[in-house]
């Protein structure tokens, strides 16, 4: 089976949750694998959703953080109608069950993983002092391993949201040798490709789900969103699924699970991370 892989980023710059592992600069890159035989079909269904809601607001594309927050004219649209858009995209994902990979980093993760010198490494088209570039690079490593382990038909195509390049711009990434044509990735303007909007939906939902789970007090909208995310049943290949009571789970439960993973990976302890941070600011 041959796939086209769409990558979009998400994160919470300058917003810090109650989690002790959230340093306020969380950045994630999310890849969704679209079966090339289904691209036209999924694109047409996104167009149907667009036509369903186009009279509600003068918009050019689905941008989910703006839809939920009421930006770009969405505030005049009833919240229930906006949530229907999320439900429609959730049903669309549920229908096709496209595999997903995610990679996240915070500045504390760099310390925790003993990677402080990684910013000195020079790789063409990447500035590893930036979390966005570092996260994308590590996602591409994960993606390469996944493609090989699952014996996906090659070469595949990798399309990245234009945050790091112009529309249809191509960049050569040496680590993708044998994975993509000419080891290249292509940058796509989401306004010009509905499937990048689909990737934006997945990236937004995964990030918002993490935030809601860590929230000490969850409001009615949070619970509605969790229900939509749960119904979509995202297939994230490198995340563990577990059931929780949304009214009971807090940041401390999230932190406990993360700490177990950190310990199993041989990462630095919380005390060691804090000591290095204090030394760096003294």
User: Per residue in 132-172, pLDDT tens?
Assistant: 999 999 999 999 999 999 999 999 999 999 866 688 899 99
Cβ-count burial of 78 within 10 angstroms (0-12 exposed, 13-18 middle, 19+ buried)? Answer: exposed
Residue spans of beta strands (DSSP E) within the chain: 3-11, 27-35, 100-105, 157-161, 170-172, 184-188
Residue of 282, 273, 280, 269 lying closest to 106 (CA atoms): 273
Secondary structure of residue 156 in the 3-state scheme: strand
Structure tokens at 25: 């600069």
pLDDT of residue 282: 54
Phi and psi dihedrals of 177, rounded to 5?
Answer: -55, 125
Calculated CA dihedral for residues 173, 128, 9, 269, nearest 10 degrees: 130
Tokens of 135: 């996260």
Question: CB 153: neighbour CB atoms within 10 A?
Answer: 10
Predicted TM-score (pTM) above 0.85: yes
Question: How far apart are the C-alpha atoms of 57 and 194, rounded to whole Å?
Answer: 17
Beta bridge partners of 187: 160
Contacts of 113 (CB under 8 A, 6+ apart): 265, 267, 268
Largest Cα separation within the chain, whole Å, is 57
User: Do 39 and 4 form a contact (C-beta atoms < 8 A)?
Assistant: yes
Nearest residue to 164 (alpha-carbon basis) of 4, 5, 8, 3? 8
Q: How many CB atoms lie within 10 A of CB 49?
A: 18
Number of helices (H), then strands (E), belonging to the chain: the values are: 9, 6
Per run of 10 residues, the mean pLDDT along the chain (length 282 residues) is: 95 72 90 98 98 93 94 92 98 97 96 95 93 96 97 96 81 96 95 96 95 88 96 95 83 90 94 89 58
Q: How far apart are CA 39 and CA 275, in angstroms?
A: 50
Q: Which CATH architecture has domain 3-281?
A: 2-Layer Sandwich (3.30)
Q: Which of 183, 147, 185 is nearest to 164 (CA)?
A: 185
Confidence at residue 175, expressed as pLDDT on a 0 to 100 scale = 95
Q: What percent of the chain has pLDDT over 90?
A: 78
Cis amide linkage into residue 267, ω under 30° from 0:
no
pLDDT given at position 215: 85
């Amino acid at each position: 089976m041959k796939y086209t892989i769409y990558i979009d980023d998400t994160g919470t710059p300058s917003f810090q949750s109650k989690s002790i592992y959230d340093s306020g600069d969380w950045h994630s890159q999310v890849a969704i694998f679209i079966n090339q035989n289904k691209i036209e079909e999924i694109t047409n269904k996104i167009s149907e959703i667009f036509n369903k809601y186009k009279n509600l607001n003068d918009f050019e594309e689905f941008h989910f953080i703006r839809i939920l927050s009421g930006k770009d004219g969405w505030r005049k649209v009833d919240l229930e109608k906006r949530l229907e858009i999320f439900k429609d995209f959730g049903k669309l994902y549920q229908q096709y069950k496209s595999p997903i990979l995610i990679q996240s980093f915070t500045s504390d993760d760099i310390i925790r993983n003993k990677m402080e010198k990684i910013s000195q490494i020079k790789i063409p088209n990447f500035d590893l002092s930036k979390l966005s570039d570092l996260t994308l690079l590590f996602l591409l490593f994960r993606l390469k391993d996944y493609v090989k382990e699952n014996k996906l038909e090659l070469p595949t195509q990798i399309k990245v949201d234009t945050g790091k390049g112009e529309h249809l711009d191509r960049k050569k990434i040496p680590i993708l040798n044998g994975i993509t044509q000419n080891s290249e990735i292509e940058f796509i303007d989401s306004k010009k490709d509905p499937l990048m909007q689909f990737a934006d939906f997945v990236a937004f939902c995964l990030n918002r789900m993490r935030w809601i789970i860590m929230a000490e007090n969850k409001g009615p909208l949070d619970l509605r969103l969790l229900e939509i995310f749960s119904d979509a049943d995202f297939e994230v290949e490198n995340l563990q699924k577990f059931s929780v009571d949304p009214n009971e789970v807090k940041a401390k439960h999230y932190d406990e699970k993360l700490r177990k993973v950190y310990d199993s990976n041989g990462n630095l302890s919380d005390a060691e991370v804090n000591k290095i941070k204090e030394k760096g600011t003294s």
